[in-house]
Structure 1
Amino acid sequence: MSSLFDPKHVRRAFSRAASSYRAAAVLQQEVAKRLLESLDYLEDRQPQVVLDVGSGPAHATAAMKKRWPKAQVIALDLALPMLAEAKKQAGWWRPFSRICADARALPLADNSVDVIYSNLCLQWVEDLPAVFAGFRRVLKPNGLLVCSTFAHDTLVELRQAFAQADDTAHVSHFVQIAQFGDALMMAGFRDPVLDRDMFTLTYDDLPTLMRELKAIGATNAMHNRRHTLTGRSRFAAARDAYEPMRRADGKLPSSWEVVYAHAWAPAPGAPIREQGHDVASVPLSAIPIRRKTTE
């Protein structure tokens, strides 16, 4: 059975976007800012080791190094060119480590990390329970995980428009918020809290949106994507299908559903839950979910 995503394509897309990412990733930077606020849950605790998974050019990594100057702060990313950009953020006055690695196989020792921060990386991972199990493995008991991902209603307009062009997936798959919460519980994290933002970005036309997606590396990474050019006729069909969605201000809307989560690694000796067993310590309905809409 083939996997949903193509990790090699994800690596290539973000490697190519390394130089353009900072200027184009306005939404990503806003989400990072909001996610960094979650670190206030640590109150006065001073972590020794902090890991930024999917760091990109490492703006959040640098912010955490500034927040905790005595901590070992690590930027980890799948794309080596992103880490080359990250080096510019480190500087001699606030150095942090850089590791090129996959979020699905963290090259860190068990119980070695106090805080894991991951902003808008996990939407490129198919097996969330396995990734969260890896996060739990490297976290110290009672360590903190703060993370975010794009969820199901992201780019819903684009998905609907291209569905009028052909039957091939042109937009990556994004998880339901329930799947995200379930995956946290399956890995044994405790006291999870989820937040949800719905952002609406606007564009003059479809080509402008597509160029921005390429600039941030957010291209279709599904294995069953079309491996040839979309073609003028298909693109025109998608463009025509998008036009009826144009707003009163003349702009095309683009929805981005963002889910944030913070949760704690369990105390020492807590069993790891496995799929096929009683994995949910509480029903998903008991996890606090705060919903907001932002334009």
Structure 2
Amino acid sequence: MARMYYPFSRLFRNFSSSSCLKSNRGEVIMNVFDRKAKRMHRDRSAVMPDYKVYEYIKEEIGYRVADRVGDIKREFEVLVDLGCGRGYVSKHLLKDTVKTIYQCELSEKMLSQSEVSIEVPTYRIVADEEYFPFRDNSLDIVVSSLSLHWVNDLPGCFKQVFNALKPDGVFLGCMFGGDTLFELRVALQLAEQEREGGISPHISPFTSVQDLGNLLNRAGFTMLTMDVDEMKITYPSIYELMYDLKGMAENNCTWSRKPALRRDTIMAADAIYRDMYGQKEGLPATFQAIYFIGWKPHPSQPKPAQRGSGQMSLKDIANLADITETLTPEDAKKISDMLSNMEEDPKKT
């Protein structure tokens, strides 16, 4: 059901206007990543005959992101899969959750391989995450799985997503966290320091939970929910790990990267990796996933109670059982109704 052309031109904005630069005005953008190199990495991954062998992490996390979309008890008209890759999220979505899907991907070759939902009409768009192509207040939900950690202007990207969402729209996704591949990072730095007398970045700088929450809040999102999960994959040696990263198109694209690693440096890094982190089964590699969900404000959303309106002190929590016995039937019914409403609408939890 995938279509390379897309309808509803009212959803898309004209980049000749200055609207796409509003979030960047007066701000200094850290230009850390070479976006052309990252597109080249994805293009090269797309032409690998065995590219499906390297998708195990992105497939698993894409399924988990799609499962979180299904947990929201709502029917969305328009969903955008930002940085969709090969459709790791979109292909799991069903028509009782979403009516229309737009897959956005930096690499046209990888986008042509994207899998789509068997039930939901899906349209493919070649688009850069840093230049979100949708008009303000046009989308119901935006999802993103393991693509935003290569974005230079992350605050600007979040602000563009916020503007494109309708009031009470949701932004849901996953990014690699700061502990991702820390074993490989340490081994390469120590080996390079020993063999070459200095170090250079070989692993992408990843964000932390606190920084990601601050950026989402700064963009305007409310009712943030975040959780962290870790996956440990065991490899026979450092060579298989680095080759798999290349197959995933997750190899380094920072501007300050070195053009190549010396053979003796890689051998030393493998020895250090084994000495510091090695196990009987092989070399473990940590992939830390940060899942997040944020909402665009709307009057219907629950709001915090006014300061001073509480009727119970925190110091009385230890005596909660005794206090519960003294509740009037009316108060007990209010508490029961409140709990029932929270179960019916997970957004209020």
TM-score of the two chains, using structure 2 as the length reference: 0.71
2:259 maps to 1:233: no
Q: Which residue, out of 68, 73, 87, partners 1:58? A: 87
- Partners of 2:132 and 2:270 lie apart in 1 by 41
Match of 2:102 in 1: 74
Q: Which amino acid aligns with 1:57?
A: R
Q: Which amino acid aligns with 1:162?
A: L
Count of residue pairs the alignment pairs up? 263
Match of 2:131 in 1: 105
Equivalent residues in 2 for 1:1-295, closer than 5 Å:
3-18=31-46, 19=48, 20-43=50-73, 45-68=74-97, 71-86=99-114, 89=116, 94-166=120-192, 167-227=199-259, 229-267=260-298
Report the structure, 1 or 2, having the larger helix content.
2
- Partners of 1:264 and 1:192 lie apart in 2 by 7
SS at match of 1:35: helix
Change (3 A) 1:177 1:2: closer
Unmatched runs of 5 consecutive residues or more in structure 1: 269-295
For residues 219-275 of structure 1, the C-alpha deviation after alignment (integer angstroms, 9 at most, x for no partner) is 011110002x2121211221121121344423101011110001111228xxxxxxx
Unmatched runs of 5 consecutive residues or more in structure 2: 1-28, 193-198, 300-349
Q: Rg bigger for which structure?
A: 2
- Partners of 2:204 and 2:263 lie apart in 1 by 21
Identical columns (%): 30
- Partners of 2:273 and 2:104 lie apart in 1 by 37
Change (3 A) 1:90 1:258: closer
- Partners of 1:126 and 1:245 lie apart in 2 by 32
- Partners of 1:202 and 1:248 lie apart in 2 by 9
Change (3 A) 1:246 1:156: closer
Per the TM alignment, residue 181 of structure 1 is displaced from its structure 2 partner at its CA by 0.6
Looking at both structures, which has the greater relative contact order when contacts are Cα pairs under 8 Å and sequence separation is at least 6?
Answer: 1
- Partners of 1:41 and 1:141 lie apart in 2 by 20
- Partners of 1:169 and 1:252 lie apart in 2 by 21
TM-score of the two chains, using structure 1 as the length reference: 0.84
